[in-house]
Amino acid sequence: MLSYLLGWVTGLIILLLEKDNSFVRFHAMQSIVVFGVLTLLTIVVSIVPFIYGLLLSVLNIVGVVLWIVLMIKAYQHERFELPVASELTKNLLNK
């Protein structure tokens, strides 16, 4: 659950600190992938002013919903896999 607390930042910290627990490492990497992409999309959207307001609102809502769902699933010890992010997460962890 802590992997999702501050988005990709806590995911990165936990990934660097935890070497053995695959469950914790999975959620840490998934946090980096999901919230890293959302951060990049927010930066890109902020560069394009005419769509900034609408898309930024949508990205913020998606981010909050994902944040809540992923924290709850991790707290319940469930390996909840997001469709695209989980594959990328697994690939990055297996390198």
- Residue-wise pLDDT tens digits, 2-55: 778 888 899 999 999 988 898 899 889 989 999 999 999 888 877 777 667 777
Supply the Cα-derived Rg of the chain in whole angstroms.
14
Which structure tokens are listed for 7? 């988005």
Cβ neighbours around 13 below 10 Å, total:
16
What ranges do the domains of the chain cover?
2-93
pLDDT digits (tens, 9 = 90+) for 69-88: 988 988 999 888 888 888 88
